Amino acid sequence: MALKTILSWSSGKDSAWALHTLKQDPDYDVVGLLTTVNAAADRVAMHGVRREILEAQARAVGLALTVVELPWPCSNEAYEALMRGFVEDAVAAGIEAVAFGDLFLEDVRGYRERQLAGTGLTPIFPIWGLPTDKLAREMIAAGIVAHVSVVDTRLISSDFSGRRFDLTLLEELPANADPCGEKGEFHTCVSAGPMFARPLNISIGERVQREDFVYSDFIIG
C-alpha cells in the first residue's frame, strides 16, 4: 500500500523535481504540499516568493497546499512548536510520510529525521545523493523552468539573482558553487516542468538587497 505522503514544497526546482520523482514511484501517494511562509512578508521563507505564486504552483500540480505561517523574527523554539502542530494535524489526517527535496547536506537531513522520530511520520528523501551537476542538467533537459529568486552574495555574485536556471547559468557559476545551489548559493522559483499541468506566467520585478542576500521579485499575471 502506497504511503500517504505530503511534500515539503519550497517553491523551487528541487522540491518540484522531488514531486516528479515521487509521482513515478508506486510506493508513495503524494496528497499535498507543505510550505512555511514568513507571515510578515507573506512570502515563502528563505526563497522570498510571493504567496500568490506559491498558491498558483499548487494549483498547477493539482495538490492541496498546507501553509505554516512563521512570525518574523522567528526563534527556533517558535519554529519547532509550529511544526509540531503541523505534524500532529498531519498524523490525525492520516498522513504517513513527509518528503523533502534535500540533496546531500547530512546535517539538514539529520535534523529532519530527529524532529520526525516517533511522530508517526516517516521522512522521505527521494532525490538524496544524486550527483548535482548531472541532476541540474537532467532537470533542464526535462523542461524545468525556474528563475533564481535569491542569492547569497557571500557565495556567488548578485548578478545571478533573477536569472533563468539554464545551461548558461550552470556554465557561469563559480567552480566552487554547487550546480543546484544546495550549499545555499541560491534558491529558485519554478514556473513550469513535467510536474505542472500548465506553466505559470511570471515576470521579474524589482531586485532588493537585504544584508548579504539579493532577492528578485516575481509577479504572476
| Cβ proximity of 178 and 136 under 8 Å | no
Cα distances (angstroms) measured from residue 31 to each of 5, 8, 204? 6, 12, 31
59-92 burial, b at 16+ Cβ within 10 Å, e below that, comes to ebbebebbbbbbeeebeeeeeeebbeebbeebee
In the chain, domain spans: 3-124, 132-220
Pairing of strands 43-44, 64-70: unpaired
Q: Note whether 112 and 123 are within 8 A (CB).
A: yes
Cell of 11: 517553491
**Which uninterrupted H or E stretch holds 1?**
none
The CATH architecture to which 3-124 belongs is 3-Layer(aba) Sandwich (3.40)
- Output the pLDDT for position 221: 80
- pTM of the predicted structure, to 2 decimals: 0.96
pLDDT score, position 50: 97
Neighbours of 27 (CB within 10 A): 12
Asked, as a colleague might, if the bond just before 131 is cis with ω within 30 of 0, I would say: no
Q: Which tens digits make up the pLDDT trace of 202-212?
A: 999 999 999 99
Please give, one letter per residue, the 3-state secondary structure of 61-81: HCCEEEEEEECCCCCHHHHHH
Burial class of 183 by CB neighbour count within 10 A (0 to 12, 13 to 18, 19+): middle
Per-residue pLDDT at 56 exceeds 90: yes
| Residue 217 CA to its chain's centroid (Å) | 16
Q: For residue 1, what pLDDT band results from cuts at 50, 70 and 90?
A: confident
Q: Tell me: the pLDDT tens digits for 120-177?
A: 999 999 999 999 999 999 999 999 999 999 999 999 999 999 999 999 999 999 999 9
Tens-digit pLDDT profile for residues 27-51: 999 999 999 999 999 999 889 999 9
